[in-house]
Structure 1
Amino acid sequence: MQTNANEQPRKPEKYLRLPAVETLTALRKSSIYAGMKAGTFPRCIRLSARAVAWRESDIATWQAQRLQTGGQ
């Protein structure tokens, strides 16, 4: 695999399970899923038949947007 001299190697995307998302966002499960349904919170990724997770970058982007809009 060739990389450009100016290009930084990418870190693999980190996935967060529900307890970590609850801790980072201060939201509970019901609010997270209601936000997903309303389109105001990032959608989860299905890892298996019984496991889901959220991309850490999606949560960070959501948090940054909340700071810009004052949490509205």
Structure 2
Amino acid sequence: MVQNKTDKHPKLIRLPEVKRRTGFGKTWIYTLIRAGKFPKQVKTGLRSIAFIESEIDEWIYKIISDSRNHI
């Protein structure tokens, strides 16, 4: 998933917020990232990461859409 080029002010969110939004734990999120099934994190410092909010939102909407289209 790529950041929308029209979004001039992308917002970064931290892992606790990603966990809250998805209901997933840290280990499962990183498992999905390694499998190429979840948006990759962005390194924001020497020992810190964040996620691009719009990519997380897009992933959530896709999961919902895919789930409802397979019923």
Short-chain TM bin: 0.7 to 0.9
1:70 equivalent in alignment to 2:67:
yes
* Residue 14 (1) aligns with residue 5 (2): no
Identity of aligned residues (%): 32
Query: Where does the alignment leave 5 or more consecutive residues of structure 2 unmatched?
Result: 1-6
Q: Which has the higher contact order (CA 8 A, sep 6+)?
A: 2
Within a 5 Å distance, the mapping from 1:11-50 to structure 2 comes to 12-50=9-47
Q: Runs ≥4 in structure 1, deviation > 3 angstroms? A: none
Encode CA deviations 1:19-70: one digit per residue, 9 max, x unaligned.
0000011000001000000000000000011000000000011001101111
Normalising by structure 2, what TM-score? 0.82
Who is 1:61 aligned against? 58
Q: TM-score, normalised by structure 1?
A: 0.80
Mapped partners of 1:65, 1:39: distance in 2 = 14
Match of 1:52 in 2: 49
Q: Which amino acid aligns with 2:21?
A: L
Unaligned 5+ runs, structure 1: 1-9
Compare CA radii of gyration and give the structure with the larger one. 1
Aligned length: 63
